[in-house]
Structure 1
């Protein structure tokens, strides 16, 4: 903070270099974040979360497997939606605090996406499609269609979750790079006044 004293003993507080530097870096942070388009990635995450949760509804009417009993589509879908909402907020309010929260949520979303992919893969391997056994009416039995529907839905959910894993990992990379670039300015929490101010000393007479 620069200070000057005039001949009439008036103290002038000039523009703070740190305040200007902080403002410039905050603007640079906002530009860098928006260059990565977190809003588009956030909307994609929200849409994937809603699709995962809606596509999983038919699984409740088929054979109960690990995916349904563990509620994988529901907690993974809610995680995707949460990560997407935080990314959209980051696009609107580009601060270091929100960036760190978004980075943490994105890391959690990535980890849970990988876990969900593993559960889907194991479930599909343990529950193969039942062969078509023709009945007297030359039609396959009900279990064949049920397992076929179940595997088809799980395949779709697996693809959505893989897409979410890629989006979350990419967003984590962008946010980690921005946090590393601008993290040193997070300690500057309060800036000095940007306009000069005058301090009039008290009259000692």
Structure 2
């Protein structure tokens, strides 16, 4: 905070150049993050998470395989939703702390997406579609339809998870780039006083 004392002993508080600089950097951070559209990516993550969880419900009525026993659609879907909500919140409250939280959650989401893709791929490979065996009424057996439905649902879940992996990886890249560019500048609202903020920036 800059103070100026005039000849008649009146004191004027001037704008501190460091505070102005930090404010400008905070606004630049907000503009840079909004250019990356975290809100759109966050909404996409939430929608993919809901789709993964809803598409997995019929799997519980077919043959239980590794995907169902490990609960892959549920923990992966919840992770996608959490990452999406944090990204949407980042668009509204743009600070370095929230950016770092969003980056961590997005990295976790990316890693879990890759794990889920591996599990889906192994499960689809281990549980092939059974051949159609005709019954008395000239129809295929129920087991054939069950495995066909299960395989189709798992293929859809695999595609959704691949899309989520791509979105999470893109968001990770954008957030990491912004954190690296603006890492030296803390949010003005994160410190209790301007003096503390200036001293933390100068150290």
TM-score by length of 1: 0.90
Q: CA deviation at 1:18?
A: 1.1
Separation in 2, partners of 1:6, 1:51: 67
Separation in 2, partners of 1:128, 1:170: 33
Separation in 2, partners of 1:182, 1:75: 33
1:103-142 to 2 correspondences below 5 Å: 103-142=103-142
Where does residue 197 of structure 1 map in the other structure? none
Decide whether the 8 Å contact of 1:3 with 1:12 is kept in 2.
yes
Where does residue 144 of structure 2 map in the other structure? 144
Where does residue 191 of structure 1 map in the other structure? 194
Decide whether the 8 Å contact of 1:16 with 1:191 is kept in 2.
no
Separation in 2, partners of 1:31, 1:12: 33
Which structure has more helix as a fraction of its residues? Answer: 2
Where does residue 27 of structure 1 map in the other structure? 27
Deviations 1:5-46 (A, max 9, x none): 222334433211111011101110110011011111010000
Where does residue 51 of structure 2 map in the other structure? 51
Decide whether the 8 Å contact of 1:46 with 1:81 is kept in 2.
yes
**Alignment gaps of 5+ in structure 2:** 196-203
Deviations 1:167-190 (A, max 9, x none): 000000000000000010128634
Separation in 2, partners of 1:116, 1:132: 30
**Alignment gaps of 5+ in structure 1:** 193-205
Separation in 2, partners of 1:120, 1:57: 15
Q: Which has the larger radius of gyration?
A: 1
Separation in 1, partners of 2:40, 2:4: 49
Aligned length: 192
1:1-205 to 2 correspondences below 5 Å: 1-186=1-186, 189=191, 190-191=193-194
Separation in 2, partners of 1:97, 1:28: 16
Decide whether the 8 Å contact of 1:117 with 1:162 is kept in 2.
yes
Decide whether the 8 Å contact of 1:18 with 1:191 is kept in 2.
no
Q: CA deviation at 1:134?
A: 1.3
Separation in 2, partners of 1:97, 1:18: 20
- Tell which has more relative contact order, 1 or 2 (C-alpha 8 A, sep 6+): 1
